Structure 1
């Protein structure tokens, strides 16, 4: 009998936003897999430890997942991670792979999930609180009302101009070093005055900027801009 892979969403950073279901799955699994940009870093694991310090008594495997736009390199990292997980699943171990926010939204987990599922293994996704929902709550605003549409845009990629031209509320994610370009586009569109930025929502160093003029090249990758009509 093979083990099961769970993609466990842990929310945007506030440990209190980790769902009870996520806690139960983590506690029940034999192996905890955590994506890390380097050998010493795992933001997701750091957050979970605040709720479940006993997680360190489990077998924890780090999956090297550096940020890169090189498609071939990304595929290699994802395949390597999937192969490592398969090794544990083949030994009938259930594996919980932690992921920030929600696993279905711009998540590294999804790539591994597909590879594992294609290999004939059982997989489950545990939903979590998306960063933009937590950000809107922190700002005290609604994202959409009535018939208003909501658009989620990966701000550091090409094509953001078309997305910003759509009606309704726009949520810009994956910002980081693209902040200056984003500010120029929003200002050109006359949308900058209706934009609010919150970085590291629920994490140490959280900051809310009601004016994008305050944002600079040091803006965190874990930032969300909400543009209201």
Structure 2
């Protein structure tokens, strides 16, 4: 019998924010797959309690904007997963936050499905929800729309003008530029940021003028429209 690939969202950083379903999937899986992109793997640190003695499968998924290289790595990783599935192994592929929101894993998921194999998503707590909890505020209320944008998005100016509460994800390298755009559009006073939400090195900024250098990749800015 062919195995199943599970894309498991492990939440934003705090092990206590793992869902029960994620824990059950990790504990029952034959293999734990994880991406290698350079540096410390935060997702592995979150799940280490639940994967002792499991077969570990590293997937080389470089942090690059080169589409050809990304396509090659996703294809290679999908084939890697399928070979294990053919052996009847169930695989839990861990990914930070939720696998449906700007997840590297989702590209592998789609390729495995397209090749006729079974892949399923296990929802995780998104980082921006953890940020809202840390700020002790809502993201949206009543009929307020919410716009979620990667900070490096080419259409950033249009997004800034759109009448909605906004979440800017992956702000690290773009943080100072984004701050200036917020200042120019009169939105800076409504902006707050959490860096590395729920992690040991978490920092909260209620005033973005306190930023004096580029922040972590795991930085999220929330901008209220009013």
* Same fold per superposition (TM over 0.5): yes
SS at match of 2:70: helix
SS at match of 1:63: strand
Match of 1:20 in 2: 20
User: Aligned runs of 1:1-229 on 2, under 5 Å?
Assistant: 1-38=1-38, 41-49=40-48, 51-52=49-50, 55-229=51-225
Where in structure 1 are there 5+ consecutive unaligned residues?
none
User: What TM-score results when the alignment is normalised by the length of structure 2?
Assistant: 0.97
Contact 1:176 1:217 survives alignment (8 Å): no
User: What TM-score results when the alignment is normalised by the length of structure 1?
Assistant: 0.96
CA deviation map 1:177-225 (0-9, x unaligned) = 1111101110110101100000100112100011111224330100110
**What is the Cα deviation at residue 41 of structure 1?**
3.2
How far apart, in 1, do the equivalents of 2:171 and 2:115 lie? 34
How far apart, in 1, do the equivalents of 2:187 and 2:60 lie? 38
Query: How many pairs were matched up?
Result: 225
Contact 2:174 2:214 survives alignment (8 Å): no
Contact 1:31 1:61 survives alignment (8 Å): yes
Cα RMSD between the aligned structures?
1.0
Contact 1:198 1:224 survives alignment (8 Å): yes
How far apart, in 1, do the equivalents of 2:76 and 2:33 lie? 13
How far apart, in 2, do the equivalents of 1:29 and 1:94 lie? 5
**What is the Cα deviation at residue 47 of structure 1?**
1.0
How far apart, in 1, do the equivalents of 2:153 and 2:181 lie? 13
CA deviation map 1:119-173 (0-9, x unaligned) = 1111110001110111001100011111000000111121111111111210000
Contact 1:197 1:210 survives alignment (8 Å): yes
Where in structure 2 are there 5+ consecutive unaligned residues?
none
